Amino acid sequence: MRQFIILIVLLSSTIPFVYSSVTDDCTITKFSQVNTVLSSCKNIIISNLLVPGGEQLLLNLQNGSTLTFEGVTKFEVFHWEGPLVKVVGDNVTVEGAPGSILNAQGEKYWDGQGGAGGVTKPRFFYIQTTGGSVFRNIYLLNCPLFCLIIAAQDISVTGWVLDSVAGDKDLIALNTDGIGISTNSNNVLVENCTVLNQDDCIVVNAGNNIRFRNVHCYGSHGLSFAVGFGSQKYNNSVANVTFEDSFLANGLYGIHFKVSPNGNEGHLQNIVFRNIRLSGIQEDGIYIQQDYGDIGNLGSNMKIHNLTIENVYGSVQGELTRPIHIFCGNHSTCYDWKFSGINIIGGGPSYCNYEPEGFSCN
């Protein structure tokens, strides 16, 4: 009888421990649990979490971890720079369960001034990972400012929805850039994503070996590069970037190069746009400018070379809209361009002060 009682005690003391280590102990439902769970678990669930205002959801994951968002992750309002979420790790997987949402409550920040004034608005989601990390099926709702910033190596981002469409009313949600590629990024794949916003759909500031495919953009400022600004030297080298099989509707631009004049020397090289469809673009279908921020300035130090644009088609709208608009600040910085299969209808006449060999702007 005594042996039987001892056996029961042993079983009752071990079974709950095994069960909780697999499930409850690795599920985050309160912000106070974050650090403990991340340090002890590699298969993590964040379920219906409320993140206090002014706190960053810092996900410093162990190598090889998997993290899944379930339900609604909501961020209380606080006027700071963010980012609200930062993910760090090597060879990690971060994903959203079906129906999950990360809600930044951007509608409570939007004031029509974006990052240029008004209340301080936090950036939303920042990725700084390595080692073949995977981010998939994440739904970001109502970004206060920049939605997703990638500063990572060897990463794939797939199946995301970045939804700030509520900010379209009265154009109050400025600077809600969708996906930004920032310093030290290398070997990045972004595919099967949808962006609804009021600034760049995609913007590349720096990086190498980057591919975007099957991206759908609504109401945006287009597929963009932004380089050469002030002392930001890391912005001055971008190479081997491809955009393909993508769709842009009802935004200001389709393809947009934003190069600051008189900035540091640098280059944009081996850039490809292929199979891009436009619909209802309101200003320029293709706009390549080396005078961004100082219109008409011819002092560009940024080389744009080995640029291929092929099979870009669709429509722009309005008499002042240009299918193609090219302003090379210095003709020695624009060379080895190949344009083909461009068929953009509507709008007024195009304007180009530089044309690729064998291609007519009009």
Which DSSP letter does residue 146 get? -
β 284-289/101-103 pair status: unpaired
Amino acid identity, position 208: N
Alpha-carbon gap, residue 226 to 200, rounded angstroms: 10
Amino acid identity, position 75: F
Catalytic residue among 177, 221, 267, 284: 221
| Catalytic site includes residue 199 | yes
Q: Edge-to-edge strands of the sheet including 57-60?
A: 57-60, 85-90, 125-130, 148-150, 179-181, 202-204, 223-227, 253-259, 284-289, 322-327, 351-352
Catalytic residue among 177, 199, 200, 284: 199
Identify the residue whose tokens are 């790790």.
89
Amino acid identity, position 254: G
Name residue 274's beta-bridge partners.
244, 310
- CA-to-CA dists, residue 209 to 49, 128, 185, 271, angstroms: 35, 16, 8, 10
Which DSSP letter does residue 291 get? -
Tokens found for residue 269: 């090289």
Tokens found for residue 259: 């190069």
Alpha-carbon gap, residue 137 to 201, rounded angstroms: 17
β 207-218/186-196 pair status: parallel
Tokens found for residue 2: 């005594």
Alpha-carbon gap, residue 358 to 360, rounded angstroms: 7
Alpha-carbon gap, residue 142 to 173, rounded angstroms: 9
| Catalytic site includes residue 221 | yes
Amino acid identity, position 229: F
Alpha-carbon gap, residue 101 to 142, rounded angstroms: 10
Annotated active-site positions, please? 199, 221
